[in-house]
Amino acid sequence: MHSYAYVADSRLDETRRALGLQTSGGRAPNPRFFTGFLGDAQQAATALLAIAKIAGTRYFQPTTERLRDPVVTCNGDRLRFESFSGCCGVYARLDVLGDALDGEVHDRGTTNVDVNEPLRRALARVTKGDPLHLTVGPDQVEFGTLDGAVVEKKVPLPPRWLRGFAETQVLTSKFDLKAELSAADAQRFLKTLPKGRAAVWAVPSGRSLRLSGTASANAVCLAGPNRLETLIPLLRFAKAVRLYGPPADGKPVASGWEVDLGAQRLTLVLSPEVTRGLSGEGAVLDGLAAGDADTDAELVGALLDFEPRVDVADLADRSGLTPARVRDALAQLGTAGRVGYDLAEASYFHRELPYGGIDVEAMNPRLRNAKALVAQNAVGWDGDTAVVGTYRVNGEACTCQWWAEYRGGRGKCKHVLAADMVRGKA
């Protein structure tokens, strides 16, 4: 269970056109990030609604339980609102860039932001594109009366949700831009998407996309198109829509969908299948298994200060590590929720998920099991082939059931990880 403690409810004052978002957690109990004006109010409100909707939805096995609030990061020049669906299958981030913000940044950092039903309704009522006054954090008055008057919300915080939220960052760092559509073509494509759960592939053809049953070079996997419905209201304002994905090998993979609104960007990441959360994709295991990642991550983590873009070369310079080790360290920080990845800029950004006690090892049972195998000396060798119990590991392939089910498509199994660790040490 996680407990949010807000100073007051977030609210939108419709007569004064002032949006006050309340915060909880992070480096301060109720941090204060920003006061000022937000550019196009209608776009921002629609995008915030999309973020709130994803935070409150389970696309697989829907429940009525209360879900988790979005997270906001202030990177100095921009605000990023992130949310993750209850089923761990959809990640969403709204980047409000500098051009849309006009005001004072009080602090950098990451915190939870309260979203409640009256706020949702008020946001849905915003119909004009005039600027909106925005406060992120308690305002002056509320700040003065911080005397325990709190709005408390309790929500379940399962490890797989936390892990998926964090892991998405590492997963998307391997994505490439696959297609870019004009707003009109994107509208036509996304609005005519048929229903269905089985994964199909969106392949660039002409100016738009077509659906194919087979993965080709530039194909983007699309499983459960209903999970993209939150994008549709935003298409009216879109400048362009970009699609991202990892290199395709025929198996369902994750996909990224970015709606570019000019001064704002909304990015969705969909899991490879509706029934599959992003939490189990295992993208980080490699980096974590590399021996030095722990200490490197500490070193690199200490150098970060909520930068909007993490510069690997610069970090390598300052930390004295090689760029490859910095990247591994960033991956490790990613699993702990300490960096995010921005697809549009193809770079990491610093943020610290405002949930206490993130234990990377506990969140990655495969890694823990692999370490246990190594500790038990369970890895033997038959030439180049590692023998772990009854399983045989060749390179990245193993004869265990996990590998057979996903053919390496969800990260390495514990046997391959254990073999890698032993090989790395030798």
Binding site for other proteins (CB under 8 A): 46, 64, 117, 120-121, 124-125, 127-128, 183-184, 187-188, 191-192, 194-196, 198-201, 205-208, 210-214, 229-230, 232-233, 235-236, 385, 390, 392, 394, 397-399, 401, 403-407
DSSP assignment, residue 411? B
Which residues, including other chains, have CB under 8 Å from residue 198's CB and lie 6 or more apart? 223
Burial of residue 215 (number of CB atoms within 10 Å: 0-12, 13-18, 19+): buried
Convert 230-269 into a string of H (helix), E (strand) and C (coil): HHHHHHHHCCEEEEEECCCCCCCCCEEEEEECCCEEEEEE
Find the shortest distance in angstroms from Cβ 272 to other proteins.
12
| Residue placing its CB nearer to other proteins in the complex, 238 or 300 | 238
Q: Quote the least distance from Cβ 415 to other proteins, whole Å.
A: 12
Least Å from the CB of residue 185 to other proteins: 8
N- to C-terminal Cα separation, the chain: 42
Residue bearing tokens 């980080």: 284
Phi-psi region of 307 (alpha: psi -120 to 50; beta: other; left: phi over 0): beta
CB of 376 to other proteins, least distance (A): 21
Q: Quick one: 221 or 289, whose CB is closer to other proteins?
A: 221
| Residues 6+ positions from 113 with CB-CB distance below 8 Å | 10, 21, 22, 23, 69, 70, 71, 72, 81, 136
Q: Which residue has the tokens 């309260």?
A: 114
Reduced DSSP (H G I as helix, E B as strand, rest coil) percent helix, strand, coil of the chain, to 5: 35, 30, 40
Least Cβ distance, residue 353 to other proteins (angstroms):
27
Nearer to other proteins, 237 or 355 (CB): 237
Q: Which is nearer to other proteins, 184 or 324 (CB)?
A: 184
> Which residue lies nearer to other proteins by CB, 27 or 154?
154
Q: Token pair of 281, please?
A: 């994709």
Nearer to other proteins, 228 or 358 (CB): 228
**Of 187 and 347, which CB lies nearer to other proteins in the complex structure?**
187
Nearest distance from C-beta of residue 36 to other proteins, angstroms:
25
CB of residue 406 to other proteins, shortest distance in Å: 8
**Nearest CB to other proteins, comparing residues 207 and 318:** 207
Report the nearest approach of other proteins to the CB of residue 117 (Å). Answer: 6
Least distance CB 391 / other proteins (angstroms):
8
| One-letter amino acid of 199 | A
10 Å CB burial of residue 294 (0-12, 13-18, 19+) is: middle
- DSSP assigned state of 280: G
Q: Which two tokens stand for residue 83?
A: 């949310």
- Residues 6 or more apart from 164 whose CB is under 8 A from it? 84, 88, 91, 277, 278, 279, 280
Of 214 and 295, nearer to other proteins (C-beta) is: 214
